[in-house]
Structure 1
């Protein structure tokens, strides 16, 4: 932990952004019917019910990381990958009312804990489920990623084009950094609307499009519609 705590006003603004995104998500879920939850989501192998169950349990997993930061007692994000998957499978078949109540409560638990985090604990080092170390401030971004991307995955009319410029501005460079190309291959992406450019691997081609379209393609949420250039196959992010 370092002594350079972020300003509480900055953290509060970030949390307001997550709260607004969550409200949009919950409003969309509330407009669904029980029958809609068994329909496929945009994620291969997952129904809408799977996506909602995952969103709820992810909020609880990020509560664990905030508790770790607040108390200094190591609390893994998930007990295990097996239990993470089992909880999603168990929660997916539930009716809409149960899903919505669970998602609302889990989201509120996470947000409430985040809003009372002491400023000097935000730089505490925690680890995500893959073992990557990060300051607790990153947990706020992690939740925003889950809410915004999985809102798209529900396939209820919310698209990457509706992501804010600030969100896309964070997502695109992260996506470029995390893509793993085949050995000896790669590409450069250039955003025609923001001027951002980034290279994956050893660039052999250039792909252009809007920042939102590029980000959506890089995380497997788009086949690359609207992009120009030779597009390699990329896997979806969950």
Structure 2
């Protein structure tokens, strides 16, 4: 006997996954377009001025975003072929490529990140359906299905667009996207043993709110409240606690 209810549920889940993937890929495209606009507005002087990241100027951030796009293409190649293609050959090679790229001119930096982003768009477009479910290693010991890669790329593009410190801030990230980014930040950060227990209430501009809990509940929980931009910036160590309410604790470094 065919279980029609089960089949309808399975079909609905597949449809939901496909819809979410399309939304993510559209978000990546829009975030990339915004990134390129931000970089294009720089000049030869400003592109080599400091970013919000210690030790990196804006050119380092742009170079990193280009190499991250190529790294994502490597992971999608792995998913498509089943043959291991690491995101980066090694941490040392990654750092050397970023440092070398940061020496380029404004125009070459823009062309590099645009070309790398285009290669990634094509890799997303041509990935066969079964490959989206293949597991790949995004960091030592951290395996994810390939359908997580668009979300990983979105996180990189949006957060590092803020790090460029050139007119784009966390408050400029669209409502749905920043909720995704908060979810991902809490997933990566919240279970670490050095993160104090806290309840983070985020109040969105449309009047809705969400609560995230971080840390292990082995001591009284800190209660923190703020806007999505202030909350995400604080979790990632980019902003302080000035725009937060409650008793925000000191957080360990993001990385």
- Per the normalisation by structure 1, the TM-score is 0.91
Answer yes or no: is the 8 Å Cα contact 2:27–2:177 preserved in 1: no
Equivalenced residue count is 233
How big is the shift at 1:230?
3.0
Quickly say closer, same or farther: Cα 1:13–1:189, change in 2 above 3 A.
Answer: closer
Q: Contact 1:208–1:227 at 8 Å: present in 2 too?
A: yes
Q: Write out the 4+ residue segments of structure 1 that deviate beyond 3 Å after TM superposition.
A: 4-10
C-alpha separation between the residues in 1 aligned to 2:248 and 2:120? 41
Classify the secondary structure of the residue corresponding to 2:121: helix
Q: Which residue of 2 aligns with 1:153?
A: 163
Corresponding residue number in structure 1 for 2:60? 50
Matched, 1:215 2:232: yes
Tell me if the contact between 2:199 and 2:214 (Cα under 8 Å) persists in the aligned partners: yes
Matched, 1:28 2:20: no
- 1:175 is paired with a residue whose SS is helix
Whole-angstrom distance in 1 between the partners of 2:70 and 2:202: 35
Separation of aligned partners in 2, 1:16 and 1:204:
37
Aligned Cα root-mean-square deviation (Å): 1.8
- From 219, 222, 226, the equivalent of 1:205 is 222
Report 1 or 2 for greater relative contact order, CA contacts < 8 Å, sequence distance ≥ 6.
1
Structure 2: stretches of 5+ with no match in the other structure: 1-12
Q: Report the counterpart of residue 87 of structure 2 in structure 1.
A: 77
8 Å contact kept, 1:5–1:122: no
**How far 1:40 moved relative to its partner?**
0.6
- Match status 1:186 vs 2:197: yes
Q: TM-score, normalised by structure 2?
A: 0.85
Q: Please point out which of 122, 126, 129 is paired with 1:119.
A: 129
Q: Distance in 2 between matches of 1:131 and 1:111?
A: 26
User: Contact 1:32–1:96 at 8 Å: present in 2 too?
Assistant: yes
Q: Secondary structure at the match of 1:191?
A: strand
Task: Please state how far the C-alpha of 1:137 moved relative to its aligned partner.
Answer: 0.5
For the Cα contact (< 8 Å) 1:78–1:129, is it kept in 2? no
CA deviation after TM superposition for structure 1 residue 236, in Å: 4.2
Task: Report which of the two structures shows the higher radius of gyration computed on alpha carbons.
Answer: 2
